[in-house]
Amino acid sequence: MKKVIFTLLLVNLSCFLFAQKTEQGKLTATFKQSTKDKVLFTDVNSKNWEFYKNGSDFKGIKLFTLDEKSGNNIDNPEYIGKKLNIIYTWIDAKVYAGEENSDMVTKKVKIIKSLELVE
């Protein structure tokens, strides 16, 4: 009886851990640029990755600054073309369906949970 209960606990625990892993991902990618709402990276296979800024944690790495006069982002040249280790997760967020003046919809978007420069 104890062996059966222990086995069931292990199976349930592994299902829980698998579910947690699918909510988060890791990659190493090169910083390309930032936009108004997103930061853009490219991985070694030339796949483009975009992460929403709102809710992201850049761990003190200043990929961009905000130009107070224009309201635009200015990418930090120190990080353009640099490789970074990224841990990301998916969240539900309200975003514009199309252009900025369109309706808002809820969709899953990627945000950065952790960012580290690859030396």
Please state the domain extents for the chain: 25-117
Digitized pLDDT (tens) for each residue of the chain, 119 residues in all: 544 343 333 334 333 333 333 478 999 999 999 998 899 999 999 999 999 998 999 999 999 998 888 888 899 999 999 999 999 999 988 877 777 677 888 989 999 999 999 97
Q: Kindly report whether the global pTM for this prediction surpasses the value 0.85.
A: no
Burial call 47-82: b when 16+ CB within 10 Å, e when fewer: eebebbbeebeeeebebbeeeeeeeebebeeebeee
Length of the chain, in residues: 119
CATH top class, domain 25-117:
mainly beta
